[in-house]
């Protein structure tokens, strides 16, 4: 069967969904029937330029709102003005992919077993973890340092993927303090908040790349303060909370972030050790 030529007269039905056409575009799916103009070089170039500039403008508009106008992206999404911005899930996944790339490159160990052992000794909590690793290294005829590096590698990959769990946990925290809203609303706001926190992590990566990948209490404190202020500006736009009520909610939500992060750090460390010990 010969395919219809775009030079033929306009179709009466949409070529995509077969809906009878009442205009230039299908009112059901938005598809445009082909015509001879679509095959001209001028149309091809202009359409390509339009697509590139449209995507770029949408990305920059979305990032500008995400960084400078906390809560606006979520409020605009609820209001139905969605075409002008990158969708919440896609935005999160793109920034997550960038963050994942930065913090899981070879020789980058942000969460390091070496640091954890040193911190435990400093706190006077003994060296049980170090003895366990030494015992496992002896059974596998390898060095303690080599086994630690394997644990670090598994730990970073697992922890990066489990950041997706943080989004769900934060949405639950939002539901606790704003229980009269749909859960999907909390999930959308959570995606936007974590998109911002991941961007902060990307900026912090510049510091760690220069001064070493280890926990810096001052930088952690600055990050938490940024999150608190960001939420304090975002909550009025999304949930209508203001004043002390909004501040208390922000403190609870940041505390939820810390609890979730601590849980996933510990959990993924256990998983990483299991993966390392079972894989040798």
Q: Give tens-digit pLDDT for 153-180.
A: 788 777 777 777 888 889 999 999 988 8
CA dihedral 77, 81, 84, 86 (to 10 degrees): 20
| 11-28 pLDDT tens trace | 577 776 777 877 777 776
Q: CA-CA distances (angstroms) from residue 280 to 144, 146, 268?
A: 13, 12, 18
Q: Which segments in the chain show pLDDT lower than 50? A: 1-2, 4-10
Q: Whole-prediction pTM value?
A: 0.72
Question: For residues 22 and 13, is the Cβ–Cβ distance under 8 A?
Answer: no
Looking at residue 30, its pLDDT comes to 63
CA distance 207 to 246: 31
User: 203-209: long-range contacts (C-beta < 8 A, 24 or more apart)?
Assistant: 205/99, 205/102, 205/103, 208/110
Looking at residue 38, its pLDDT comes to 64
Looking at residue 7, its pLDDT comes to 46
């Amino acid at each position: 069967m010969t395919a219809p030529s775009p030079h033929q007269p306009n179709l009466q039905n949409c070529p995509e969904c077969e809906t009878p056409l009442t205009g230039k575009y299908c009112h059901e799916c938005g598809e445009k029937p082909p015509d001879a103009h679509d095959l001209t070089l001028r149309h091809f170039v202009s359409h390509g330029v339009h697509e590139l500039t449209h995507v770029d403008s949408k990305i920059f508009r979305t990032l500008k709102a995400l960084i400078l106008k906390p809560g606006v992206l979520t409020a605009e999404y609820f209001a139905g003005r969605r075409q002008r911005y990158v969708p919440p899930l896609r935005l999160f996944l793109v920034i997550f992919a960038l963050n994942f790339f930065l913090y899981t490159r070879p020789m980058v160990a942000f969460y390091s077993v070496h640091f954890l052992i040193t911190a435990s000794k400093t706190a006077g909590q003994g060296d049980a973890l170090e003895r366990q690793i030494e015992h496992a290294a002896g059974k596998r005829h390898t060095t303690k340092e080599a086994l630690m590096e394997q644990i670090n590698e598994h730990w970073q990959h697992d922890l990066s993927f489990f950041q997706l769990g943080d989004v769900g946990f934060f949405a639950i925290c939002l539901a606790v303090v704003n229980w009269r809203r749909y859960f999907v609303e909390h999930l959308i706001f959570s995606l936007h908040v974590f998109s911002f926190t991941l961007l902060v992590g990307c900026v912090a990566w510049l510091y760690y790349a220069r001064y070493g990948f280890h926990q810096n209490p001052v930088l952690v404190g600055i990050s938490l303060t940024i999150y608190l202020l960001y939420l304090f500006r975002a909550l009025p736009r999304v949930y209508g909370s203001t004043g002390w009520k909004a501040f208390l909610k922000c403190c609870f939500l940041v505390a939820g972030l810390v609890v979730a992060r601590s849980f996933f750090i510990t959990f993924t460390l256990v998983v990483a050790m299991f993966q390392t010990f079972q894989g040798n």
